A and B are shown apart, each in its own frame.
Chain A
Amino acid sequence: MSARPRSPQERGGFALLSLYAVLIYLFLYLPIAVIVLFAFDAKPIPGLPLDTLTTGWFVEALRDQKLTGSLLTSLRLAVVSAILSTLLAMPAAMVLAWLPIRFKSLVMAMVLGPVVLPQLVLGLGLVILLRSAPDLVGEPAIILAHTTITSSYATLILYSRFLGFRRSYIEAAMNLGASELVVFREVILPLVRPALISVFMLAFTDAFGEFVVAWFVAGFTETLPITIWTSLRQVISPKVYALSSVIILVTLAISLVSQLWVIRQTRLTSKVQTS
């Protein structure tokens, strides 16, 4: 249990590993720091050395209707995809984790498929499919595409969480004569709520940031990743960095908070279980 090193040799190893860990975290967070840094740089073409610092690019970004428009589109579409994929994933993950089913490996293959399929390939397949439903190109197609990817991730994450729950709670309630609906509302829902919320948030961030598949089926719709992609083909304005840095910080906060919350909740429920 204790992580304290004992011999001098082991203490040296620990110091070396810690130093390595610091370097890796620097590598992971350096690009993020650079984006945030250049969002405050006054020069119109970013580069070192830094000029005077300004918050002007944030204001500019908010005034840019193309940027804010695509931001709102992305937010709207990602919320719908996250709701849809949570609704699809929740019952499927419950069944996979708690009930015996036939053809389980086929079902798992269907769930895992969109995760391992290169996103480019899924995008192209959907483009061909959409030839028979051209009216869907644009926002509906983006929602369909993102829901396909995120519902898979959501099912896998929920499945692994649900495996850890005690089926005895549900069976006890059933044996006490509760109907399925009551069991679901009074027992299952409170148990799985933290997992559901965290999966919803992860599905949202995933759909919000996804580019390739959306790009193929978007038609004239512009999501924020598509707008940034287009601007990357020219000299990129610092207002894009300003908007990106806000979004990056929000994304990091969402994933940190939702994951930490899940850890705390699991600790609470496992405490209840052991007492």
Chain B
Amino acid sequence: MQAGAGSAEKRRRRFAAAGIAPLMLWQFVFFVVPVILLLVISFWRTRNYRMVPDFTFANYIAVFTNGAMWRALLLSVQTAAFVTIACAVLAYPIAYFIAKKAGRLKGLLLIAVIAPFWISIVMRVAAWRLLLGENGVINQSLLSIGLIDQPLGFLLYSPVATSIGLVYAYLPLYVLPLYASIDAIEDNWIAAAKDLNAGPMRAFWEVTFPLSLPGLIVGAVFCFIFGLGEFVTPALLGGGKQLMMSQVIQDQFQRRLDWPAGAAISIVMLVIVFALLAVSMKWFRKASGEKL
């Protein structure tokens, strides 16, 4: 039992390696290798619906010169940005309410916000089709109370519908980090600001809001990243006229069978995602650093 400190350390290290190895091996084979393969074939060419090994930048040049792809890229970024801002504005008061005002109902209210996130995305989108369609619940209700004479056509199969669906999908995801950072703010700090004659508004903007910035950043990053790559919602709610990047990728892969072209767009999307993560980690460190 009483082995030397060196052998105990060795044992501990062996334990650590054994515990972590299965997951690392799994993620290497089914996450790292697929991404590398995607990167490799993005430099290949397609001839007669078959991939030909090559080293060409043609697929990447096409992403930035082809008008349709540009528009898809732009629409994706715009939609993701809009959804992120909408989610932030909608999520902040509710996260604040749960963290600071809900009292004993705190736990239950938080869980109730997050629960819809676990429902299959396909079912959530099906529900929005029932609500937004020409004969959907919203149009029928507005017609019957006489607010409109004709069903609003732009509600379904439009970027508006996609945005509504995405806000619905990612609002729970945004509340979670916001709640965590607002909940960590001690009531005493806010009370101290008020004792020093700050009004509720000033106390909020000078104490609560800056301290909740880390949560705001984490939520925004995840909301934007997920919104950028999301496929089901634009495919089922967006209609086929204005495509988002994910739809173009799927189209290249499944309909045109041009895998290298699809792979190149995927890699562009990945680069955006990882660049954003890197930048936001910097912000995040700065924002949480100011707390100390």
Binding site for B on A (CB under 8 A): 1-3, 9-10, 13-14, 17-18, 20-21, 24-25, 27-32, 34-35, 38, 46-49, 87-89, 91-92, 94-96, 99-101, 107, 110-111, 113-114, 116-122, 124-129, 144-145, 147-148, 151-152, 155, 177, 180, 202, 205-206, 208-212, 224-225, 228-229, 232, 236, 240-241, 244, 247-248, 251-252, 254-256, 259-260, 263
Residue contact A92 to B119, C-beta cutoff 8 Å: no
Chain A's closest residue to B167 (CB) is: A27
For residue B96, which residues in chain A have a CB less than 8 angstroms away from its CB?
17
8 Å CB contact of B27 from A17, A87, A110: A110
Do B111 and A259 touch (CB < 8 A)? yes
- Beyond A117-B273, A118-B266, 15 additional contacts (C-beta under 8 Å) are A3-B100, A3-B102, A9-B200, A17-B93, A29-B116, A34-B127, A91-B23, A119-B231, A124-B266, A180-B15, A206-B118, A228-B120, A228-B122, A251-B119, A255-B111
Q: What's the Cα separation between A259 and B109 when bound, in Å?
A: 12
By a CB distance below 8 angstroms, the chain B residues around A96 are 20
What's the least CB distance linking B115 to chain A, in Å?
A: 5
Contacts A147-B26, A211-B120, A232-B126; is A116 near B273 (CB within 8 Å)? yes
Chain A's closest residue to B136 (CB) is A47
With a cutoff of 8 Å between Cβ atoms, the chain B residues found around residue A31 in the complex are: 124, 127-128, 130-131, 168
Q: B interface, by DSSP: helix, strand, loop or mixed? A: helix
Interface residues of chain B, those whose CB is within 8 Å of chain A, are 1, 12, 15-16, 18-20, 22-24, 26-28, 30-35, 37-38, 41, 90, 93-94, 96-98, 100-103, 107-109, 111-116, 118-131, 135-137, 140-141, 144, 168, 171-172, 187, 200, 222, 225-226, 228-232, 236, 246, 249-250, 253, 259, 262-263, 266, 269-270, 273, 277
- How distant is the Cα of A128 from the Cα of B40 in the complex, in angstroms? 11
Contact B119 A32 (CB under 8 A): yes
A113 to B27, Cβ gap below 8 A?
yes
Asked whether B24 lies within 8 Å of A110 as measured between CB atoms, the reply is yes
CB atoms of B23 and A117 under 8 A apart: no
Closest Cβ–Cβ distance, residue A29 to chain B (whole Å): 7
The answer, among B93, B94, B122, B229, for a CB contact under 8 Å with A118, is B229
State A125–B33 Cα separation when bound (angstroms). Answer: 8
